[in-house]
Structure 1
């Protein structure tokens, strides 16, 4: 492809993306009518023997690939969690690809490192996070990870390094380590324990209360039991807005236990932490002033396209101690003098993309006011949904709904019949192609999750989704 061809096709692709995002909900199903293998069956089995035109590639994109996608930007998308995009963020992603730099260390791209540090400080300020997470603090700082799953894993590695005094890097002995979370915590917590060599059997599931939040007293008892058995508790994860039910663990009370027992406290606020952009919702930060690490995702509810996870720690020495390996070809005078950050030591892989550009472009050209307004709308519409379903005696609201997730279920004579009816309602609603919901299980009750978070979703879309569910629900 020549530079002139790149210019022409690039202009066409930007126009295509703008048209796509402007027209996401028109005539498209949220989830395609498709079976596994259908997309591949329409594509050649072997690489092309002759070069094809870019126009032909785009034609196949339009006719084969896009119709086989789940439409995450659709206004009827109420599944899983939002994964929003914005025009400035997309352009930042494009610029990152065009610049083609590797931001693994200050020496490999000084501007990339320093802009990333600044963006984490900007976001610390915009979210109202404790000053101990700022890069200018004595022990803290932030970094952009790919996902909250990666952030949780590096927090675990820092925690196990600290509790073993660094010996873990030499002997790899994790046989006594034990960590804690609730059954409502994200599946990446258990996955992280597996990768970190702790294992699922050493993940203690702390009982939750009727709000699906961790019970601090039960945590303290489990820690004492493990210590008496000769084990070494080292890590606790509380969640601010669980994926399953939007539960908020009582981090201030848990922090007291962690400080007393010398355990690393990590707070996972993958989606809900972004709510702190709205001043009236700053309660989502409760307890962060005593956390060792914290993570949230602008690539969910803020409109910074995937991937862009923000991770802060108040103990960067343990993080770097756990992850730093310095062969001669990575050494630099700036890093050795402590004058620069090498972010390769703050993550699992070596290489890094220039993700900070997405935040920089978006914050400078759009600010946070549009996001704040969207958050306020989504929270208000979710409360309205709770009123609608709460007034319909066929439905039951199964969990608290402080932000933008509502978990509802159909009533039944037995748990089994209620679960079957709820599952059938989810299937029937999704089959229309107008909406997409996902299911979760809350204390053996099947629940329909309504996650209100897509940027394109309007009040009319939310009310339409509620009307659809009421129309499809069986009479009692």
Structure 2
């Protein structure tokens, strides 16, 4: 057969083979999830391993889907860090579910680009609907719902929410004081705020020297102090600077600390500062009535964001941002290109989500969230959160029963920060705990990460994997105890 015949037969979207090929992918994933516990959780290969296994040039002729899947299985999968392993306890979870996967398939399959209402009306309207659904599940104030003058949008990450809201706050202030004042704008965060916030601040043009990091302490569970914030703001005003934006966090990455939203809200209101709440991880827990109090005071904030792809079974990516006054965001980010003009937009009674985000093109994420909520219902989503927190409480109790260990900070959600206490050889215990963590991760049996909290090296155990059960917590604890015993013996011998 002439090699050109492959090109003549080429049909990139072939409904005759679509079912067969996608079924093979689903079969592969089903087997992967069944087998994922067998793999070392953290990739054990050295950098550059994959270049030794794949050709250095792209194939000119098509390969069969069976070969491609086999290559994935033998070359790619062994080099993954397996986020869906039930023994993955690092960072924060990236939860998955049947409904989330179904939503991803349909989102990708339909492949609509809903940058404006006219480009795909159902995509726009469904997003507005499910954002209101989630707002009601979280018991957010009416002002954050479309029916109350606010509204929500889905981004790919919290980083995008930071950039967009910072830009809106910046432009609102510059419209009032003049564009030359950009060098005078100041933003505020705690030393526990996610590092992506500082990156976002740079992207919107705030001078690095105008980024204020408010120190936290263990005595306040590493929460942002309203008094210290107020002092910092007043100090900047005295120097002729313009306070712009405060980032509060509900569930910080290092320790899961919760900033006092209510009290910070009054400080921000008194000085006309935009207050954003980053609830990327822990916000999902606030659908449970017993955890909703962590959002008390949200009526005083300008915006709030959370990542449902972390803990609420909505496969990556799905980051939700709500605003009280979306017009401020739209005024900052809107585009009026001739190519995009249409009657619906001109009338002004529709949402054009291109004006709510950094880019123009966007995925149909709303379909995925709609399927997750519809398939499971709020009752099962609440039960899922509570189940993970119960596992964290169980792990916490195991630590408290072993006098060699201690909790570094009180547990609030499903993150447990702990350490092996010093033996006298390493006064702070930091070196010993760092080596203990590496012993655990190098075993391939589990994967955790760490945080520095008030100068203390803390091991973070983030529970929330979709496949994690109580027996995996027991297995993790046995591994920790075994490695700790060997590590202490090594210190004493040294």
Q: Under TM normalisation by the shorter chain, which class is it?
A: over 0.9
Secondary structure (helix, strand or coil) at the match of 2:182 reads coil
Could you tell me which residue of structure 2 aligns to residue 285 of structure 1?
Answer: 295
Secondary structure (helix, strand or coil) at the match of 1:267 reads strand
The answer as to 2:396 corresponding to 1:386 is yes
Q: Distance in 2 between matches of 1:279 and 1:23?
A: 36
Could you tell me which residue of structure 2 aligns to residue 187 of structure 1?
Answer: 195
Could you tell me which residue of structure 2 aligns to residue 127 of structure 1?
Answer: 138
The answer as to 2:11 corresponding to 1:11 is no
CA contact (8 A) 1:272 1:284 kept: no
Alpha-carbon distance change, 37 to 189 in structure 1, aligned in 2, over 3 angstroms: same
Secondary structure (helix, strand or coil) at the match of 2:339 reads helix
CA contact (8 A) 1:246 1:400 kept: no
- Per-residue deviation, 1:11: 1.5
CA contact (8 A) 2:174 2:182 kept: no
Gaps of 5+ in 2: 1-10, 490-494
Q: Distance in 1 between matches of 2:206 and 2:348?
A: 32
Q: Distance in 1 between matches of 2:225 and 2:410?
A: 16
CA contact (8 A) 2:183 2:207 kept: no
Could you tell me which residue of structure 2 aligns to residue 214 of structure 1?
Answer: 224
| TM superposition outliers: structure 1 runs of 4+ over 4 Å | 414-417
Which of these residues, 321, 325, 329, is aligned with residue 311 of structure 1? 321
Q: Distance in 2 between matches of 1:259 and 1:178?
A: 16
Which of these residues, 60, 63, 83, is aligned with residue 71 of structure 2? 60
Q: Distance in 2 between matches of 1:179 and 1:134?
A: 27
* Larger Rg over CA atoms: 2
Alpha-carbon distance change, 416 to 110 in structure 1, aligned in 2, over 3 angstroms: farther
Secondary structure (helix, strand or coil) at the match of 2:188 reads strand
Gaps of 5+ in 1: none
Alpha-carbon distance change, 448 to 47 in structure 1, aligned in 2, over 3 angstroms: same
Q: Distance in 2 between matches of 1:21 and 1:366?
A: 20
Equivalent residues in 2 for 1:321-400 (5 A)?
A: 321-400=331-410
Equivalent residues in 2 for 1:37-436 (5 A)?
A: 37-138=48-149, 140-165=150-175, 171=179, 174-210=182-218, 211-412=221-422, 413=424, 417-436=428-447
Which of these residues, 437, 446, 463, is aligned with residue 448 of structure 2? 437
Q: Distance in 2 between matches of 1:52 and 1:384?
A: 49
CA contact (8 A) 1:415 1:445 kept: no
Alpha-carbon distance change, 194 to 434 in structure 1, aligned in 2, over 3 angstroms: same
- Per-residue deviation, 1:364: 1.4
The two structures, once aligned, show a CA RMSD in angstroms of 1.6
Alpha-carbon distance change, 287 to 22 in structure 1, aligned in 2, over 3 angstroms: farther
Secondary structure (helix, strand or coil) at the match of 1:164 reads helix
CA contact (8 A) 2:217 2:454 kept: no
TM-score, L = length of structure 1: 0.96
Alpha-carbon distance change, 344 to 414 in structure 1, aligned in 2, over 3 angstroms: farther
Secondary structure (helix, strand or coil) at the match of 1:270 reads coil
